[in-house]
Amino acid sequence: MQSKPVADHVDVLVVGAGPAGLMMATWLAKCGIKTRVVDKRGTKVFNGQADGLQCRTLEIFDSFGFGHRAWIESNHMLEICLWNPDQDGVIQRSSRIADTIPGISRFQQVVLHQGRIERFFLDAIKDFSHGDVSVERGIMPTSLEIDTATVEDPDAYPVTVQLRHLGEEEATPKQTATMSNGSAVQDGLFRSNLAADDTADLLKAAELNAKADTLEVVKAKYVVGADGAHSWVRKAIGLKLEGDSTDYIWGVLDIVPITDFPDIRMRCAIHSASFGSIMVIPRENKLVRLYIQLTTTEKTGDQDSRADRSSITPEVILESAQRIIAPYKLSYRTLDWWTAYQIGQRVGSNFGVHDRVFLAGDAVHTHSPKAGQGMNVSMQDSYNLGWKLANVIKGISDRSILKTYESERKAIAHALINFDHKFSRLFSGRPARDIMDEEGISMEEFKNAFQKGNLFASGIAVDYDKSAIVSKPDATTDGEEASAKAQSLATELNIGQRIPSVKVLNQSDARPWHLQELLRSNGTWRVILFPGDINKPTQKKRLDSLCEAMADPSSFLNRFRPAGSRYDSVIEVLTVHAAKRADVDIFDFAEVLRPYDEVDGWDYNKIFVDDESYHEGHGQLYQNFGIDREEGCAVVLRPDQYISFVGKIDDYKSIDDFFSGFMLAQNTVEELK
Amino acid sequence: MQSKPVADHVDVLVVGAGPAGLMMATWLAKCGIKTRVVDKRGTKVFNGQADGLQCRTLEIFDSFGFGHRAWIESNHMLEICLWNPDQDGVIQRSSRIADTIPGISRFQQVVLHQGRIERFFLDAIKDFSHGDVSVERGIMPTSLEIDTATVEDPDAYPVTVQLRHLGEEEATPKQTATMSNGSAVQDGLFRSNLAADDTADLLKAAELNAKADTLEVVKAKYVVGADGAHSWVRKAIGLKLEGDSTDYIWGVLDIVPITDFPDIRMRCAIHSASFGSIMVIPRENKLVRLYIQLTTTEKTGDQDSRADRSSITPEVILESAQRIIAPYKLSYRTLDWWTAYQIGQRVGSNFGVHDRVFLAGDAVHTHSPKAGQGMNVSMQDSYNLGWKLANVIKGISDRSILKTYESERKAIAHALINFDHKFSRLFSGRPARDIMDEEGISMEEFKNAFQKGNLFASGIAVDYDKSAIVSKPDATTDGEEASAKAQSLATELNIGQRIPSVKVLNQSDARPWHLQELLRSNGTWRVILFPGDINKPTQKKRLDSLCEAMADPSSFLNRFRPAGSRYDSVIEVLTVHAAKRADVDIFDFAEVLRPYDEVDGWDYNKIFVDDESYHEGHGQLYQNFGIDREEGCAVVLRPDQYISFVGKIDDYKSIDDFFSGFMLAQNTVEELK
């Protein structure tokens, strides 16, 4: 023990600086929450690792302002080609499928290595926090205690964590030092599930390094364990992953391929007749990732045992690939990264304890990487939790909203596990030779699963259950799904799902924006008013009556807003009307919809219109959202763009009731008058 | 004299680091040319200054990789509103016009202050040159000599320039120290044409500063004077601007307006009945730029005299604005920048001497800023010259192509001056009260000029004359214009104009790209083959015959390429075919169209297709370019994307002849065999 622990007080301690931890830190930095982020590794990831980015993930990135960076640098995947053995057992292209279902998002699935994604997060964290938040590397927690007596006290710091600073050598992962063409190539085996947990080794090494081994104590209001599949935090709070692993072992090569296979720049699923399967993922910088089934490697025993990884080398993996892709030739001169893993699916029974310590990402669900889902679902875990923590820490929301993290994300984790289980089995199996071949996999069934999986894989289908923050009808009795599409005011909007996006025009300058571009992730709730054609006196009157109620000092806009804060700091009101743009101007709308500031004048960025643009077409929002131009509606969006509530345009009371269900009044009505 | 001059040898010395100088440096850095850039100012511009970016300028920025930065940060202008006095003399909105003509470009005109634009250039220069090229500030040339005996020797350094390093104090422009709300506001009077040339003062001050005043000597192959309206280089080579100034004096305010004028976020031209005119330019960060006619300021004398600027303050300018915009109210709390200028138009008789020292930007043409043209035309001057210099310095092109700089850009400068002269007169004049009011300006004429000016102002209409690098028919005898549209192989392409852009798909991965996105500014010429439907045997055969000729060791592809350089380093071949994408793959095309590299395999980024995309529609290139799918054509593009040549798809000889007209063979045919 080299130094005496000194207690540091933070709102949130994030353990782990992979995508899930960095997403959490980005949210908290954006919301101005006092945060520390620690990671046991000495550096960020530079290559290899997870790489697919779903449409929904890109929408989220864009809401933080760096979607375009991922979009520009990444490789875009447009088409999936399925290759199966023909009657002679020779692989042939059997189908082409759109990689992303057209129309579901303004983004499509792309591929970019994790190191660049972490860079975007790190830049955003620095920018949002003005340098106050940064990732502290080479630091591990060694003990975690929760003072259960104070867990319900919003002002308490009930979690005490001891941190140990590692030396540089200990924080650098060991490479298996494979040599290819005479030089060492980075591999990912140290993070593979074929590798043993190295946490204990790291700690032991640190103890021996007298210089680096210092301790400190952090008292935190909340702790987020985003520390991966071997999560230390998970063990510290006594939670376990449940599930199983399979027989299937796969290798991964990131190479610049030299091949006459014509679809090497497409995403391909190749089933050979009897040598296993390959998934082709074309990447940036001429790289292609190949997921290659290693049929020669067998399962070695029970669930917790691991396949012998010493026999797995890039050469072994390549040889498998060459057998599968024959008669086409495949070789490479450039190998960027490689790894191997055993397929398995596990999920945590709980996502945290006391709503004070939470798990996110691989710490609470693991599965195979081929579906390109892991990093996305992990980041979306934190994206779900971050704004809730920020709102609670700021005293704007009741702690009860934190319960929705587990209820919302556990369902997603199970859906992911089920999807991966089915998909892996279909992909790892041998294609049926004919209809009588019952042990073989039907290629028709595989294609159907692929197509069906595409919507799931986009991240767009996520549909959160009813709760204090999702005001939807109870699950329908017909059982299948709890869709709330039934509400007739906006027939194409689904409460519980993220709001879709079409182009709308700014009333003041005619500029087209995607609706989602207006919904920046900054922690605020939004009321979007769709008043219809406000040149109709009835609609104008209904909108004006709502505005009158909202302008009242005791309205939800004022009651839940801390004194002295900006008018849109807790709940922002946006309007998208359906009159012709040229027939109205912003002064035709009540001032509460275009608030006045004595330095900046009126706010020109709150009122929009569903009309034709000069250069980018007509979004046809009312038609696409199923909103009647002579009826309109009001929609409440969560800070993560999920739809909480749909009601009548003049139903002030229901909106007020909704917010009153979990928001904390900042002033008494008397103070506000 | 503090230090002994030591001669430094550079390929190009750029004097002036405004937009024209930085564009030049960006080209040269991208092409790997040894360059120095000096500027007498101590810092880059931080606010104010020129701000409009044309479509064509954004296309150019995008070709260097930073178009999206300008697009994201800028304010987009969508609509122009014209306001005129009604019968009672009260201003009313009379028309709305699209700010950018729909369909002419994938970008629209935007506004961003010069400081950010200079930042994009500086970042690109650093990136492209790996830090070798940077702007050296606080440095002025003091003498320039040309050794006329060696100007035609491509290896000579005929220009000798003496540079003087200024002290920090001398390099900082004097502000007029206007106080507003108690704090100093930056103004631009020091660069205004109302200000005297401060070059002599700067030099004198530097002489007095013994510590900073050091000299050095640079020997340059070429010098580019991009040193503004008071250009020292222009004087040093004995050239003058010709033209005149007018009576009209205008003030400029960059403010966050507080106003009930409903179109303050639109670009507006407001003619008041008798108090003058305002141009409203909405900007980024809530700012609005107002160009305000100062009717109280009168011309003081002959061409070279200047209006008395001591009487011009932000308060005086605001009062003028308030009179013009009444009955609407206008005030501000935030003033970001202001200046004033006298309208005038001047252009240089020549754009350089000996094709060794060139002038670009304000150094060779000046005019009023309201049309938002100045910075664009200036940058486009250097964009025209940069690749020519790079190609000549690299020994790829004959020096004769440098003559086209003046022949191409002088015509543009004159067109700009004429446009500005007419536009300024119409904008500064008093609106006619009625049809009998002959001294007044017809508002109908003004609107027509505005609309007509829009195409000019986009930068898209630029049409370069016939030359060694523009293989177009002689000017038509009907006189009006020398359009080459008549060529029937691509009826909608105009030789001499930049190639338009529609979406095409990469054959290998189905990704949609705008054609222009494939035409990065890197100094290479391009042959774009449009072979039509290559599933038709006739078309396939014609394409194959061309490919056979191109693959020959003595072809233009090999003859003009230095030994050991990459296959696309001097001339890149791109193909856009019109068969269905799914019916062919890249191995159906000759290898010369998808060259092989032993490390990277085949090149997947050379063959494209005009077909439907999954998410971004169908570019309909053949239809939009007027190319017959059963005839096709070959197009040669300059490194700046202007069309040089259109010929038959199998007319190898004409393409070879075209390149032979100015390119220098790098190898003898015997060496190549």
Question: What pLDDT digit, counting tens, does each position of B518-527 carry?
Answer: 999 999 999 9
Lowest mean pLDDT: which of A467-476, A583-592, B614-623, B625-634? Answer: A467-476
Binning pLDDT at 50, 70 and 90, where does residue B186 land?
low
Cβ atoms of B18 and B44 closer than 8 Å: no
Question: What are B468's two structure tokens?
Answer: 């060694």
What one-letter code names the amino acid at B121? F
Helices A374-393 and A55-63, axial angle in degrees (round to 10): 30
Cβ atoms of B208 and B169 closer than 8 Å: no
Question: What's the residue count for chain A?
Answer: 673
Strand, coil or helix: B211: coil
CB pair distance less than 8 Å for B79 and A259: no
Q: Which residue has the higher pLDDT, A180 or B590?
A: B590
Q: Which residues contact B399 (CB under 8 A, 6 or more apart)?
A: B152, B154, B355, B392
Binning pLDDT at 50, 70 and 90, where does residue A420 land?
confident
Closest chain B residue to the Cα of A587, Cα to Cα: B262
In chain B, what residues touch A585 (CB-CB under 8 Å)?
262-263
Mean pLDDT across A596-611? 97
The pLDDT of residue A212: 64
Give the distance from residue B405's alpha carbon to the nearest chain A alpha carbon, in angstroms: 33
The pLDDT of residue B175: 52
DSSP secondary structure letter of residue A313: -
Q: Which residue has the higher pLDDT, B212 or A515?
A: A515
Mean pLDDT across A47-53? 72
| pLDDT of A174 above 50 | yes
Q: Which residue has the higher pLDDT, A326 or B435?
A: A326
Binning pLDDT at 50, 70 and 90, where does residue A179 land?
very low
Taking only the tens place, the pLDDT of each residue in A639-653 is 999 999 999 999 999
Cα dist from B88 to A106, A593, B84, B272, whole Å: 49, 33, 11, 11
Q: Which residues of A are catalytic?
A: 51, 283, 291, 369
Lowest mean pLDDT: which of A263-277, A611-625, B408-422, B424-438? Answer: B424-438
Report the sign of the C-alpha dihedral through residues B479, B482, B484, B485, in that order. negative
The pLDDT of residue A480: 43
Lowest mean pLDDT: which of A208-222, A299-313, A436-450, B18-32? Answer: A299-313
The pLDDT of residue A43: 67
Q: Which of A175-189, A407-421, B23-37, B164-178 has the highest mean pLDDT?
A: B23-37
CA distance A156 to A393: 10
Q: Which residues of B are catalytic?
A: 51, 283, 291, 369
Cβ atoms of A367 and A416 closer than 8 Å: yes
Closest chain A residue to the Cα of B68, Cα to Cα: A68
DSSP string, B244-267: EEEEEEEEEEEEEEEE--TTTTSE
CB pair distance less than 8 Å for B78 and A508: no
Cβ atoms of B20 and B380 closer than 8 Å: no
CB pair distance less than 8 Å for A509 and B79: yes
Taking only the tens place, the pLDDT of each residue in B487-509 is 789 999 999 999 999 999 999 99
The pLDDT of residue A549: 98
Cis peptide preceding A158, ω within 30 of 0? no
Mean pLDDT across A459-477? 85
Cβ atoms of A80 and A450 closer than 8 Å: yes
Q: Which residue has the higher pLDDT, B598 or A181?
A: B598
- Count chain A–chain B contacts defined by CB atoms under 8 A: 107
Of A103, A509, A598, the CB nearest to B266: A509
CB pair distance less than 8 Å for B96 and A582: yes
The pLDDT of residue B301: 44
Mean pLDDT across B265-290? 93
Closest chain B residue to the Cα of A600, Cα to Cα: B256
Binning pLDDT at 50, 70 and 90, where does residue A302 land?
very low
Taking only the tens place, the pLDDT of each residue in A122-151 is 999 999 999 999 999 999 999 999 999 999
The pLDDT of residue A341: 82
Mean pLDDT across A302-326? 79
CA distance A603 to B283: 15
CA distance A41 to A190: 12
Beta strands in B518-595 (DSSP E): 525-532, 571-577
Taking only the tens place, the pLDDT of each residue in B77-90 is 999 999 999 999 99
Binning pLDDT at 50, 70 and 90, where does residue B43 land?
low
- Count the neighbouring beta carbons within 10 Å of the beta carbon of residue A636: 22
In chain B, what residues touch A100 (CB-CB under 8 Å)?
614-615
Taking only the tens place, the pLDDT of each residue in A97-111 is 999 999 999 999 999
In chain B, what residues touch A265 (CB-CB under 8 Å)?
506, 508-509, 604
Q: Which residues contact A14 (CB under 8 A, 6 or more apart)?
A: A21, A24, A25, A28, A35, A36, A37, A38, A223, A224, A226
Mean pLDDT across A468-490? 67
The pLDDT of residue A475: 56
CA distance B653 to B662: 15
Cα dist from B157 to A568, B9, B238, B427, whole Å: 63, 8, 20, 48
Task: Identify the H or E element spanning A293.
Answer: strand A288-293
Q: What percent of chain A stands above pLDDT 90? A: 70
What one-letter code names the amino acid at A77? M
CB pair distance less than 8 Å for A76 and B511: yes
Binning pLDDT at 50, 70 and 90, where does residue A183 land?
very low
Taking only the tens place, the pLDDT of each residue in B547-570 is 999 999 999 999 999 998 999 999
The pLDDT of residue A202: 62
The pLDDT of residue A199: 63
Whether the predicted interface score ipTM is above 0.85: yes
Cβ atoms of B447 and B423 closer than 8 Å: no
| pLDDT of B481 above 50 | no
The pLDDT of residue B100: 92
DSSP secondary structure letter of residue B337: E
Of B78, B263, B509, the CB nearest to A614: B78
Helices B403-428 and B374-393, axial angle in degrees (round to 10): 180
| pLDDT of B486 above 60 | no
Mean pLDDT across A153-175? 81
Q: Which residue has the higher pLDDT, B367 or A70?
A: A70
Mean pLDDT across B283-288? 92
Mean pLDDT across B105-114? 93
| pLDDT of A444 above 90 | no
CA distance B292 to B279: 7
- Share the mean pLDDT of chain B: 88
Binning pLDDT at 50, 70 and 90, where does residue B342 land?
confident
Cα dist from B416 to A367, B224, B375, whole Å: 64, 21, 12
- Share the mean pLDDT of chain A: 88
* Closest by Cα among A242, A243, A263, A264 to A253: A264
* Closest by Cα among A492, A449, B219 to A441: A449
Task: Identify the H or E element spanning B70.
Answer: helix B67-73
Question: What are B380's two structure tokens?
Answer: 């486009």
The pLDDT of residue A371: 63
CA dihedral A147, A150, A153, A156 (to 10 degrees): -50
Strands B214-225 and A277-282: unpaired
The pLDDT of residue A9: 96
DSSP secondary structure letter of residue A175: P
Give the distance from residue B70's alpha carbon to the nearest chain A alpha carbon, in angstroms: 13
To test the contact with chain B by mutation, choose from A104, A509, A597 the residue with the greatest count of B C-beta atoms within 10 A, namely A509
CA distance A120 to A118: 5
The pLDDT of residue B523: 98
Task: Identify the H or E element spanning B343.
Answer: strand B330-348
The pLDDT of residue A47: 56
Cβ atoms of A538 and A648 closer than 8 Å: no
Closest chain A residue to the Cα of B604, Cα to Cα: A265
Mean pLDDT across A348-355? 96
Binning pLDDT at 50, 70 and 90, where does residue B216 land?
very high
Cβ atoms of B245 and B307 closer than 8 Å: no
Tell the residue number behind the tokens 């007596």, with chain if given: A149
Binning pLDDT at 50, 70 and 90, where does residue B312 land?
confident
| pLDDT of B60 above 90 | yes
Binning pLDDT at 50, 70 and 90, where does residue A299 land?
very low
Give the distance from residue B111's alpha carbon to the nearest chain A alpha carbon, in angstroms: 13
pTM, full prediction: 0.92
Strand, coil or helix: A326: coil
φ/ψ of B553, rounded to 5, equals: -55, -25
CA distance A520 to A528: 14
